């Protein structure tokens, strides 16, 4: 059982929901990232999503866009993000960390090298926003070979085919985008959210977050 799966199993046994906060690595300052991660745990985080800053975060709204811009302006790279996780692991070996970002930095490093580096740093899961699950069987296999959960996005607009593909290769949890548009939007439609959950449950029993 992966560390992420263990967290969700523990929450389920207690009939509790999990708290999974997101923070962009390097914002407001690269030297504060690890301290922020520890503060999130003290504040009740069950899992941490650490954002890898990217110059064109197409799925993100203005808040995260500006956060990425500030981090990139200070020279934050994917390797530094992995270093943040490694530093975090010196004091915390139990809280799962998911790297969340876009394909370009991972492609530049190469899937195999990235998987090995992420494993060595203590990363537990990887969510690449612009990797469609129907094209990522090999990527998911590469991650799992290093003990890392490949996490994929689904949304109220996802087709049954995409749901099926995600369910076949995802581990840890399914990241369910609960609104249309970019992150931070205020157009949540609870009927949209509720309508797709049964379709996801037909395909997989892994947690939906």
Q: Does residue 60 have an active-site annotation?
A: yes
Three-state DSSP class for residue 49 = strand
pLDDT tens for 60-82 read: 667 888 888 999 999 999 999 99
Quickly count: other Cβ atoms within 10 Å of residue 90's Cβ.
9
- Res. 189: pLDDT tops 90: no
pLDDT tens for 146-186 read: 999 999 999 888 999 999 999 999 999 999 987 665 555 45
User: For the chain, where are the E strands, in sequence order?
Assistant: 22-24, 48-51, 97-101, 125-128, 149-154, 174-176
Does this model's pTM top 0.85? My answer is yes
Catalytic residue, from 60, 124, 149, 203: name it: 60
Q: Tell me the CATH number for domain 3-152.
A: 3.20.20.70
pLDDT tens for 92-131 read: 999 999 999 999 999 999 999 999 999 999 999 999 999 9
pLDDT tens for 2-61 read: 999 999 999 999 999 999 999 999 999 999 999 999 999 999 999 999 999 988 767 666
pLDDT tens for 35-44 read: 999 999 999 9
Catalytic residue, from 46, 49, 124, 149: name it: 49
Structure token digits, residue 196: 């797709």
């Amino acid at each position: 059982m992966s560390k992420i799966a263990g967290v969700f199993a523990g929450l389920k046994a207690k009939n509790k929901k999990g708290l999974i906060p997101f923070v962009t690595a390097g914002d407001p300052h690269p030297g504060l990232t690890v301290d922020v991660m520890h503060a999130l745990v003290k504040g009740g985080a069950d899992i941490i999503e650490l954002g890898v800053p990217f110059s064109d975060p197409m799925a993100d709204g203005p808040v995260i866009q500006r956060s990425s811009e500030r981090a990139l302006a200070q020279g934050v790279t994917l390797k530094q993000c992995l270093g943040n996780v490694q530093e975090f692991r010196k004091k915390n070996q139990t809280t799962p960390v998911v790297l969340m970002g876009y394909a370009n930095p991972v492609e530049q490093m190469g899937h195999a090298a990235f998987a090995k580096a992420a494993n060595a740093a203590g990363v537990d899961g990887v969510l690449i926003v612009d990797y469609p699950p129907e094209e990522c069987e090999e990527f998911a296999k590469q991650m799992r070979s290093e003990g890392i959960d490949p996490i994929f996005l689904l949304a109220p607009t996802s087709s049954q085919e995409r749901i099926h593909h995600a369910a076949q290769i995802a581990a840890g949890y399914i990241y369910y985008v609960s609104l249309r548009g970019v992150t931070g939007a205020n157009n949540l439609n609870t009927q949209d959210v509720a309508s797709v959950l049964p379709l996801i449950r037909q395909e997989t029993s892994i947690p939906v977050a």
